[in-house]
Amino acid sequence: MLTAPLLGILIVDREPFAPQHFWGLLQAWLQDAGGFAAVGMAFYLLYVLRTPSEQAESAKYRAGVNSWMLLMAVLAILGYAIYGFLVFAGKGVDTVNVPKVVSSVGSFVKYEPPKFSWSPQPLTLMFAGLFALLAVGQPFVANLFRIRVRRIWALTKLSFKEAVRSKLFWVFLVFLVPLLFPATWFFQIKPENQLRTTIGVTSYASNLLLLLPAALLAAFSIPNDIKNQNIYTIITKPVERLEIVLGRVFGYGILMSVALLGMTTVGWLFIFTSTIDEKAANETYMARNPLRGKLEFRSRRELRGERFEGTNVGREFDYRKYIAGDPASSQRAVWNFHSLPSSLGKSREFVPCEFTFDIFRMTKGEENRGVDMTLRFVTWQTPQVPSPQAGDGNWRWADPARERQYQDDLKQAVEAAGFSGQNPNAVVAAARPGSKAWEIVNAMAAKYGYYEYAGKEVFDYHPETIEVPSGLFENARQPRTGDAAKNDTPLVQVFVNCTSRGQMVGMAEDDLYFLTSPPTPSDWQFAQNYFKAAFGLWCRVMLVIGLAVAVSTYLAGVIAFLVTAALYIGGVFSEHIADVARGSYVGGPFKAINQLLEAKAPTMPVGNSPVERAALTLDVGFSWLVRRVINILPDIDAFSWSAFLSEGFNIPLSYLVMNLLLLTAYLLPWMILAFYLMRSREVAA
Amino acid sequence: MTDYVVETRNLTKVYRDFWGRRKKVALNALDLQIHRGEIFGLLGPNGSGKTTTIKLLLGLLFPTTGDAFVFGEPAAKVEKNERIGYLPEESYLYRFLNAEETLDFYGRLFDIPSDVRRQRAAELIDRVGLSADKKRILREYSKGMRQRIGLAQALINDPELVILDEPTSGLDPLGTRWMKDLILDLKRQGKTVLMCSHRLDDVQDVCDRIAILYGGDLQELGSVDRLVEDQKRLEVRATGVQLTEELKRDLTEVVEKHGGKLETFGHPTTTLEDLFLRIVEESKARPGRRFLPPVESPTVRSS
């Protein structure tokens, strides 16, 4: 999701999970986890109800079924039957979570979290899943009431002591190696990338040193206990089997938390006590709070009813779209801000706007010189339209009379302020916060909702900042009226264009944002962010421990470790697997086999022969299967915050709370599975 | 049902292979009752089903058919373990813990309050003679020491039923004597003991009743005194008289006729070892179940 490329800049190719996504995620979770629960429920009920009259007391006690489970099972079956009918009849289709239509095969599609849908199909599926979970989860929940904290704590301490006395902590000292031998000794690192490199190396070392031991310890713990028969003396005590699972999870969790805390503290101290280059501090050593908008690309084409979606310059990773640099070009990247915090711009005379663009040079240009950009900030009161004349790249005010009034007012204000004889637009362009001219800028922005910064020199992949008068946001906050209210016109829009001929400038939605506070290097902000980023790793470590312990309740240690590793690695590449499942690249494996056998290029369109149609049908089945597999994979990227840290972006606490919920949601079905597996396991067999 | 501390009904365990095919019948239709306060021994050669029986009672294995009850509750029920102490054949304890930590750990599993736990652990360590070694980790213990701390952990909850799997295994003669005394002491405290052992002399010394298993089948069940009686022979013990041929023909009459006093008159006993070996030989010759359970009242031998 969030990766920092070599040259540094935060790439947010998927939106992090935030509280507003909660209900959508919950619905999706109930559908997915409920589906697996339904399969489990079917097997369990078949097993239990197979020969009820012949079952002995012990067997009934061990694998019982009660009226609650049966009732929920009936409701779940009913729910799935209704869902099946709706699908068959083609009614009640989800209209909210519709897959985006890609413009071309393999093109970048930004992942968006699921949204809650009231359509009958997703709603029925959600309730059916909920009932299946309630049926399968009842014995698990009932068992939770029988567990005792003292026993879990005993098992937790045991796991902790076992690892400590096997001298595991010595392994973690390896973490000091990259700190003792800094990367700067071996590589030429740009000054602004000093902190990024350090964060990257320490993050990599922490990941490796925590995840691997965590997976090994957790995967081998219960199988070793069974192999060495230590578990005999535990099972024969009044210990619920779930307590053994939880004791292991908590024990290793505490152990790894201590190790993570140690590593994080050492890593932070290393940075804190180092001499940080000013450039690196300005880019990384802070915690920016960005206010992001929605990006769209516009041009004169819209006057003809056509859409301009930005230009693809042929980069393999088409995360960004490009606009042409030319004064005569009407192409604009437009950021729309539909909501603004009430405090934005208050008690300050400007709001920083930061941006980082990718410059794709069509000509060599001038050495050590960037490209010139113009940023125009307008509110809903000052809509802009492209010029209808070909060759005229300017965008005008939709209301020319208002524009004339603005120019008159500006002229008067400039003269009244003692700048008589000077070009009013030049005065405004040269104005900086704190100056007299800035007061004019602020007043004009507050009155008209308009501010333009022309001729900003921008370098490739370098964060730049400009000050936007806070008066603009005052103007934007006025209640919308007329068409603006009806059409939900954005409160603020930022029009960006490039005036350097022969250059293309690439932009993605998260490349431009307002900052709710000035970007100032800060020890405290960075330290907070550093430890928040470690929380993401903590979640991943707990995920690995929970997963490994859960699968080890049934599998041998080595197999449990391999399964955990496979699921984790699969989770890292889950988006790619999802692309494969969707056939976003070149279709499915059966189509590919057919193309190979017929010696056709993979991208050639499929014909209509029976074999080709059969291959496509099989690919649909394969795609369905892979989509189910994806639901088992953990969403590893959702817990990765190191890019936020290395690019100096604040990690909101709400994101971390969502991380915790996500972790719980992923591990809960595994814990229920572990409960059933442990309960049905003959440890002495 | 509740009169018995342990009861099995038609208890059967069949081990199956990966494909669900029957691999081995480890225990076949075992019907058994163990009474409160008795020491019950399970005897049998390797693979006879003794340990399987114990594991089924403890919930380490699940019955294929039949039922096992402990204190009247299904063996699968966890709560019953509150009243059970179990010493496995090998002392499978965590070797990175010392004796104190071991008892503290198992005490916590019983949810015993910390002050009671500490006091009981100290008493048990003293009782099993490990006071001087209580801070050493179990990895450094000899097998006999591990067996002692294993017994201590089995008693940490002051159990009503103590299950001992080969309790004298690996102990020297002194240790064996100590263990047997301790088992008898447990009986005196009113506890029920279920033990299995290869050491027939141990079983004979301490058990009130025994069950002999072979090939998963129950071969003999009864009080030790009764089982070791040789019903085919008669033994007469007399003093003040020489045992002559004439005496042999008409014992009572002759003893009295010769002015002697008859002290005992009954069946002589053989050793349990002889009995065991004979049953094993007979079972090999005629496989299958041999014992038909009589309606038997509890017989508790005074020690």
Flag whether residue B1 sits within 8 Å of chain A, measured between CB atoms.
no
Give dist(CA A240, CA A144) in Å, integer: 9
Which residues constitute the domain of residue A55?
Answer: 21-132
Residue A544 is assigned to a structural domain of this protein: no
Residue A312 is assigned to a structural domain of this protein: yes
Give dist(CA A16, CA B263) in Å, integer: 96
Q: Is B99 exposed, middle or buried (0-12, 13-18, 19+ CB in 10 A)?
A: buried
Do A151 and A234 contact (CB within 8 A), yes or no?
no
The reply to whether residue A229 touches residue B68, judged by beta carbons under 8 angstroms, is no
Give dist(CA A213, CA A170) in Å, integer: 12
Give dist(CA A494, CA A75) in Å, integer: 52
- pLDDT at residue B299, rounded to an integer: 45
Q: Is a pLDDT exceeding 70 seen at residue B290?
A: no
Q: Which of A230, A240, A683 sits opposite B78 (nearest CB)?
A: A240
Residue A682 is assigned to a structural domain of this protein: no
- pLDDT at residue B2, rounded to an integer: 55
The reply to whether residue A161 touches residue B92, judged by beta carbons under 8 angstroms, is no
The reply to whether residue A236 touches residue B78, judged by beta carbons under 8 angstroms, is no
Q: How far is B110 from chain A (nearest CA, A)?
A: 6
Q: Which of A102, A132, A162 is the last residue of a domain?
A: A132
Flag whether residue B75 sits within 8 Å of chain A, measured between CB atoms.
yes
- pLDDT at residue A575, rounded to an integer: 81
Flag whether residue B261 sits within 8 Å of chain A, measured between CB atoms.
no
Residue A498 is assigned to a structural domain of this protein: yes
Do A28 and A115 contact (CB within 8 A), yes or no?
no
The per-residue pLDDT for range A339-395, each reduced to its tens digit, is 998 888 787 889 999 999 999 887 777 777 889 999 999 999 999 999 888 888 899
Q: How far is A566 from chain B (nearest CA, A)?
A: 25
* ∠ Cα A150 A675 B74 (to 5°): 80
- pLDDT at residue B237, rounded to an integer: 63
Query: Within 10 A of B170 (CB to CB), how many other CB atoms are there?
Result: 16
**Closest CA relative to residue B291, chosen from B62, B32, B21:** B32
DSSP codes of every residue in chain B: -TTEEEEEEEEEEEEE-TTS-EEEEEEEEEEEEEETT-EEEEE-STTSSHHHHHHHHHTSS--SEEEEEETTEETT-GGGGGGEEEE-SS----TTSBHHHHHHHHHHHTT--HHHHHHHHHHHHHHTT-GGGTTSBGGGS-HHHHHHHHHHHHTTT--SEEEEESTTTT--HHHHHHHHHHHHHHHHTT-EEEEE-S-HHHHHHH-SEEEEEETTEEEEEEEHHHHTB-TT--EEEEESS---HHHHHSHHHHHHHTT-EEEEEEPPB--HHHHHHHHHHHHHHS-S---------------
3-class secondary structure per residue, A316-368? CCCCCEEEEECCCCCCEEEEEECCCCCCCCCCCCEEEEEECCEEEECCCCCCC
What residues in B contact A61, CB-CB < 8 Å?
A: 74, 76-77
State which residue of chain B sits closest to A678, comparing Cα positions: B60
Structure tokens at A672: 């229920």
Q: Is a pLDDT exceeding 80 seen at residue B272?
A: no
**Closest CA relative to residue B102, chosen from A278, A162, A683:** A162
The reply to whether residue B93 touches residue A233, judged by beta carbons under 8 angstroms, is yes
Residues 6+ apart with CB under 8 A from A524: none
Strand partners, A180: none
Q: Which of A114, A132, A150 is the last residue of a domain?
A: A132
Give dist(CA A65, CA A209) in Å, integer: 44
Q: Which of A132, A158, A174 is the last residue of a domain?
A: A132
State which residue of chain A sits closest to B13, comparing Cα positions: A685
Pairing of strands A395-397, A384-386: antiparallel
Question: B258 versus B204: which is more confidently predicted?
Answer: B204
Strand partners, A464: A355
**Closest CA relative to residue A338, chosen from A305, A376, A295:** A295
Residue A349 is assigned to a structural domain of this protein: yes
The amino acid that residue B146 corresponds to is R
Do A322 and A359 contact (CB within 8 A), yes or no?
no
Disruptive mutation site among B13, B62, B115, B161 for chain A (greatest number of A CBs within 10 Å): B62
Do A633 and A571 contact (CB within 8 A), yes or no?
yes
Q: Give the rounded distance of the alpha carbon of A108 from its chain centre.
A: 15
Model confidence band, residue B254 (pLDDT cutoffs 50, 70, 90):
low
Give dist(CA B245, CA A565) in Å, integer: 86
What residues in B contact A247, CB-CB < 8 Å?
A: none
**Closest CA relative to residue A565, chosen from A309, A286, A212, A299:** A212
Q: How far is B10 from chain A (nearest CA, A)?
A: 10
Distances B250 to B32, B241, B243, B256 between C-alpha atoms, Å = 42, 14, 11, 10
Flag whether residue B67 sits within 8 Å of chain A, measured between CB atoms.
yes
What residues in A contact B65, CB-CB < 8 Å?
A: 56
Please give the DSSP secondary-structure letter assigned to residue A380: T
Do A588 and A577 contact (CB within 8 A), yes or no?
no
The reply to whether residue A158 touches residue B94, judged by beta carbons under 8 angstroms, is yes
Residues 6+ apart with CB under 8 A from A519: A282, A286, A288, A352, A354, A465, A648
What residues in A contact B75, CB-CB < 8 Å?
A: 58
Do B68 and B11 contact (CB within 8 A), yes or no?
yes
Model confidence band, residue B246 (pLDDT cutoffs 50, 70, 90):
low
- Tell me how far apart the terminal alpha carbons of chain A are, to the nearest angstrom: 45
Structure tokens at B107: 């005490």
Residue A371 is assigned to a structural domain of this protein: yes
Q: What is the phi/psi pair of residue B34, to 5°?
A: -120, 130
Flag whether residue B71 sits within 8 Å of chain A, measured between CB atoms.
no
**Closest CA relative to residue B238, chosen from B257, B210, B214, B221:** B257
Size of interface A-B (CB pairs under 8 A): 100
Please give the DSSP secondary-structure letter assigned to residue A384: E
- What total of structural domains would you count in chain A? 2
Give dist(CA B154, CA B124) in Å, integer: 10
3-class secondary structure per residue, B226-262? HHCECCCCCEEEEECCCCCHHHHHCHHHHHHHCCCEE
Q: Is a pLDDT exceeding 80 seen at residue B66?
A: yes
Model confidence band, residue B220 (pLDDT cutoffs 50, 70, 90):
confident
- Per-10-residue mean pLDDT of chain A, 685 residues long, equals 43 81 94 93 83 62 81 95 93 83 62 89 95 94 91 92 86 78 77 87 90 94 91 92 94 93 92 88 87 92 88 81 92 94 85 91 78 94 90 90 92 86 84 89 93 90 89 92 86 94 90 86 90 95 97 95 96 83 71 84 76 85 82 90 90 94 96 92 83
DSSP codes of every residue in A494-514: EEEEE-STTEEEEE-GGGEEE
ipTM (interface pTM): 0.81
Strand partners, A492: A337, A379
Residue A592 is assigned to a structural domain of this protein: no
State which residue of chain A sits closest to B159, comparing Cα positions: A237
Residue A218 is assigned to a structural domain of this protein: no
Under DSSP, is residue A228 helix (H, G, I), strand (E, B) or coil? Answer: coil
